[in-house]
Amino acid sequence: MPRSGAAAVAAVAGQLLEMLPWMVDFREGQVLVEELETVLYLDDSGSMNGANLSEARGALRKMAHLLQDSPTRVCTFGTHKQVILPREPNRSPRSSSTNALAAPERTPLYFSPKFEKLNPDIIGLQWKGRSPGTYMWHMILGDIREKYLPGNGKLRAIVITDGLDTHSPSPYQGIQGMNPMMRQLLEDGFDIEWHIVVISINNILGRPAISSADILKYEALAETTGGGFLHIDEPGVMNDYSARHFLTSLEKAVTGSDSSFLDSANFSDQQSKGARFLRRLHQSNHHLEDQAADQVRRQKQLELRKQDPVASRLPWLPLLESSRKGKK
């Protein structure tokens, strides 16, 4: 076969392989959110390339251990959405990492070098930072409404990005685009919890790609819904001593309890923002074991965040509070 013909065949084969996860995801159809469903949205825009993407992949690798036990799917987004990991049902409803903590004779999954479902290394190979734009809030709204049906469970949405929405139609463009998206999801009846990682390693001009004011709005979205927020503004945030120590300490303590070693003064002095984000993500897994306790945790977090001037001005906050009251 001529070289040009072989190249064409290889290109077609590559396109088919890229479409395969989407076809599997599409064939499964819509999913009713009954317990805990997780979806990752990974920014694949060109501005992610380089240090930002390296840090983003590192953050994903730290998270992956905590995402093995709920049905999870992964999408990248640039100028369009691409499903790179279709949803897989969890192995068993009660074999979660929270149970692993209560059984010290067993090794929790997130201490194993083997990722049984969500493999961050394989995902990283498909996450290249090559798209010319960022189509985010409107895409996420459409994806959630297309894939999920609101039920009695919690939808956990994890976003890793380095900037703002540039390609959604009005009014979903820019940081304010999260507001109509969130209002629509709440009106649809979704109980959604956001975990957001914003990466702003300085660009070649020495300036971050996102303002401090916009970072605070990302944080408000995550924190008011019961999730965690992490701002990575320098290399190595997820690789410091505190983050590593956090992961090993999970065997010894149930995070979030009053008796947790992680809450002690000695540990708090060393605890990094990376460790705090991972801790919040781990707490989110408790929904699998005790939905009522998870709702109490999230409500306490909401009451605390309402005192923040940025969070208090979120236009959909009253709707969120109303939906929480309906859950009681």
> What are the pLDDT digits (tens) for 23-53?
777 677 899 999 999 999 999 999 998 899 9
Q: Are 267 and 235 in contact (CB under 8 A)?
A: no
CA atoms within 13 A on the CB side of 318: 2
Residue 186 lies in a domain: yes
Average pLDDT over residues 5-22: 54
Reported as a pLDDT band with limits 50, 70 and 90, residue 112 is: very low
Asked whether the predicted pLDDT for residue 128 surpasses 80, the reply is yes
Residue 156 lies in a domain: yes
Reported as a pLDDT band with limits 50, 70 and 90, residue 246 is: very low
Residue 10 lies in a domain: no
pLDDT value of residue 207: 56
pLDDT value of residue 288: 75
Reported as a pLDDT band with limits 50, 70 and 90, residue 99 is: very low
pLDDT value of residue 37: 96
Reported as a pLDDT band with limits 50, 70 and 90, residue 148 is: very high
pLDDT value of residue 201: 86
Write b or e for each residue in 40-69: b if 16 or more Cβ atoms lie within 10 A of its Cβ, otherwise e.
Answer: bbbbbbebbeebbbbbbbbbbbbbbbbbbb
CATH number of the structural domain spanning residue 251: 3.40.50.410
Residue 240 lies in a domain: yes
Asked whether the predicted pLDDT for residue 123 surpasses 80, the reply is yes
Reported as a pLDDT band with limits 50, 70 and 90, residue 8 is: low
Asked whether the predicted pLDDT for residue 91 surpasses 60, the reply is no
pLDDT value of residue 32: 96
Which one-letter amino acid corresponds to residue 55? E
Asked whether the predicted pLDDT for residue 208 surpasses 50, the reply is yes
> What are the pLDDT digits (tens) for 248-263?
444 344 344 444 444 4
Reported as a pLDDT band with limits 50, 70 and 90, residue 151 is: very high
- How many independent structural domains does the chain possess? 1
Average pLDDT over residues 134-153: 97
CA distances to 42, 79, 96, 293 from 51, rounded to whole Å, are 15, 21, 33, 39
What percent of the chain has pLDDT above 70?
A: 71
Reported as a pLDDT band with limits 50, 70 and 90, residue 68 is: confident
pLDDT value of residue 108: 35
Phi/psi of residue 289, each to 5°? Answer: -100, -40
Q: What is the 3-state secondary structure (H, E, C) of the chain?
A: CCHHHHHHHHHHHHHHHHHHHHHHHHHHCCEECCCEEEEEEEECEHHHCCHHHHHHHHHHHHHHHHHCCCCEEEEEECCCEEEEEEEECCCCCCCCHHHHHCCCCCCCHHHCCCCCCCCHHHHHHHCCCCECCCCCHHHHHHHHHHHEECCCCEEEEEEEECCCCCCCCCCCCCHHHHHHHHHHHHHHCCCEEEEEEEECCCCCCCCCCCCHHHHHHHHHHHHHCCCCEEEECCCCHHHCHHHHHHHHHCCCCCCCCCCCHHHCHHHHCCCCHHHHHHHHHHHHHHHHCCHHHHHHHHHHHHHHHCCCHHHHCCCCHHHHHHHHHHHC
Taking CA 32 as the corner, what is the angle to CA 26 and CA 33, rounded to the nearest 5 degrees?
115
Residue 210 lies in a domain: yes
Per-chain mean pLDDT for the chain = 79
> What are the pLDDT digits (tens) for 154-199?
999 999 999 899 999 999 999 999 999 999 999 999 999 999 999 9
Q: What is the pTM of this model?
A: 0.80
Average pLDDT over residues 123-137: 93
Domain that includes residue 98, residue range: 26-327
Reported as a pLDDT band with limits 50, 70 and 90, residue 72 is: very high
Residue 17 lies in a domain: no
pLDDT value of residue 276: 85
Asked whether the predicted pLDDT for residue 243 surpasses 70, the reply is no
Asked whether the predicted pLDDT for residue 244 surpasses 90, the reply is no
Longest dimension (CA), the chain: 69
